[in-house]
Amino acid sequence: MPLILLSGYPSSGKTYRSLQLRNFFQDKILTSNDPRVSRLTVHHINDESLGLSRHVYHTARTEKDARAAEYSAVKRVLGRDVIVIADSMNYIKGFRYQLYCEAKALQTPSCVVHIGISIDKCRDLHARRPPELRYSDEDFENLLFRYEEPNGMTRWDSPCFIVPFEDDSPPLESIWEAIIGSDGKTKVIRQNPATVLKPAAPENYLYEMDHITSGILTRIQAYQSDHPGEIGGSLNRQHSLDKARIKAIFVEYLNDQFGRS
């Protein structure tokens, strides 16, 4: 089932919002009479659940390992009957794209919940935290500088729900409708034809093709032997089209391909 990516500056309140989402989804599932909904489970993944400290963002290597841990955790539990809430900064658009591709490969929807807050407010909230929950000043400023804000115009950040810091709660019903729906039908995301693995040809493919081709040739030769002198009919499948018709056919083809993707 769906993947929900939390994204925002450090100390912007992502975990608070993710817990609101988790509690809302769990209540929805418990009170639903729809078998499609009642079988769902919710997984909440963040740095704490993965055993990651704030110091992993101090070097590029440890930060890369932390992203790999989150990626593996999401991939491990992501499924058609699971709602995964990835509560991390998810500040690199390339990483969000990776997770989007994992969800799409399972034909399940995803969305981004972006915490809207000013940098000055984040600095103030960070300063109020207990020392063990703070980033180092250098790491904190570095993360603020490198943050790549989600863009709802891109397919991997869409739909994007922006939650202002001052709001009491995220648009819970809108998020539920976007990823679960209320029409009783499971939302299925179609894969791109280019990424769908085609079944491998059987090992005896060439032998079978040669055998069938030989059989066709044998039948043609046998018919010619039994009916000497007969001349077959003519076949003409050429059609002349004017330029306007060719253009219309091409446009129909493009629309059909875009509709399938």
For residues 113 and 252, give the distance between their C-alpha atoms in angstroms, rounded to a whole number: 36
How does residue 164 score in pLDDT terms, banded at 50, 70 and 90?
Answer: very high
Integer Cα distance of 85 and 66 in angstroms: 17
pLDDT at 252: 82
Q: Whole-angstrom Cα distance, residue 15 to residue 163?
A: 13
Total number of domains constituting the chain: 1
Q: What is the mean pLDDT of residues 201-210?
A: 79
Contact (Cβ atoms closer than 8 angstroms) between residue 179 and residue 187: yes
Residue 261 has pLDDT above 70, yes or no: no
Residue 27 falls inside a structural domain? yes
Is residue 188 predicted with pLDDT exceeding 70? Answer: no
Query: Which amino acid appears at position 252 of this protein?
Result: E
Whether the link from the prior residue into 35 is cis, omega within 30° of 0, is no
Q: What is the chain's percent helix, strand, coil content, to nearest 5? A: 50, 10, 40
Q: Helix, strand or coil for residue 86?
A: strand
With respect to residue 209, please indicate whether it lies within any of the assigned structural domains.
Answer: no
DSSP H or E run through 45? strand 41-46
3-state SS class at 107: coil
Instruction: Tell me, yes or no, whether 25 lies in a domain.
Output: yes
Domain of residue 164, CATH code = 3.40.50.300
Determine the angle formed by the axes of helices 172-179 and 14-31, rounding to 10 degrees.
Answer: 60
Tell me the backbone φ, ψ of residue 183, rounded to 5 degrees.
-95, 5
Domain that residue 181 falls in:
3-194
105 occurs within a structural domain: yes
Residue 78 domain-assigned (yes or no): yes
Q: What is the pLDDT of residues 1-49, one digit of tens each?
A: 689 999 999 999 999 999 999 999 999 999 988 888 889 999 999 999 9
pLDDT of residue 240: 73
Assess if residue 31 is contained within a domain.
yes
Query: Is 199 part of any domain?
Result: no
When pLDDT is cut at 50, 70 and 90, the band that residue 194 belongs to is low
| Arithmetic mean of pLDDT over the chain | 87
Place of tokens 């769990």: 26
On whether residue 55 sits in a domain, the answer given is: yes
